[in-house]
Amino acid sequence: NSHIEEKLIEITTTILSMDKKMEAFTKRINEVEHRVGDAEDSIHNVDTSIQDLQAKIVWLQEKADDLENHSQQYNLRLVGLPEGEEGKDPVAFLEDWLPSFLNLPEQGKIEIERAHQTFAPRSGDSNKPRMILFKLLRFRDKELLLRQAHNLGSLTYKNKPLHLFPDMSAELFQKRKSFNGVKHLCKDLDIPFVLLYPSRLQAPADGIPY
């Protein structure tokens, strides 16, 4: 009996020790679960903040692009004019040359605030002249030039193709460029269309031209 009692005491002591260890483990597990819960909440908050920041970045990019395009709304790009044709005074050259070249109707003089070649390095290839960027004083003059250029169709100067484009940001240019396939299809099917600012293609449902 004495021997059994000793063994029982040993077993009881061991069980009590294990109980204490289990209690300590349980406490540590609870602490870990609590910390994991806090970490998950923190990660969720971080994810929410990141999403908010991403949305703000997108909004700011769109705002900056819109502001850039508004600052360029009086600008036009002339592509294909032979290098140096504008001489030392591109403003005077364009004010005198554009009305006659585009056969503009008699009206008030077109006024240009400034004009210059783009800052790309000069190419030795005469078939690749630098683009001329110019800013008109009045927005309606810009619309008149673009409309007249569109009405004339293909433009050539000294047997070289010439193009007149509105000035815009690179991002807006890519958006509008994405409609090229649809525009060609509309032209092939003789469907009238208009590309509205900033990048929205519209065609009449009834087929009546704009």
At residue 209, the pLDDT reads 45
At residue 19, the pLDDT reads 86
Which residue has better confidence, 195 or 142?
142
- The string of pLDDT tens digits covering residues 168-192 is 998 888 998 899 999 889 888 888 8
The answer to whether residue 208 scores a pLDDT higher than 60 is: no
How far is 205 from 194, CA to CA, in rounded Å?
13
Q: Is the pTM of this model over 0.75?
A: no
At residue 61, the pLDDT reads 92
At residue 150, the pLDDT reads 86
- The string of pLDDT tens digits covering residues 114-171 is 999 887 666 666 667 889 999 999 999 999 999 999 889 889 998 889 999 999 998 8
Specify the 3-state DSSP secondary structure of 23: helix
| Rounded-to-5 percentages of helix, strand, coil across the chain | 55, 15, 30
Mean pLDDT of 30-39: 89
What share of the chain has pLDDT > 70, as a percent? 91
How far is 98 from 115, CA to CA, in rounded Å?
13
Arithmetic mean of pLDDT over the chain: 87
Residue of 91, 82, 92, 79 whose CA lies nearest to 116: 91
At residue 210, the pLDDT reads 42
How far is 190 from 208, CA to CA, in rounded Å?
11
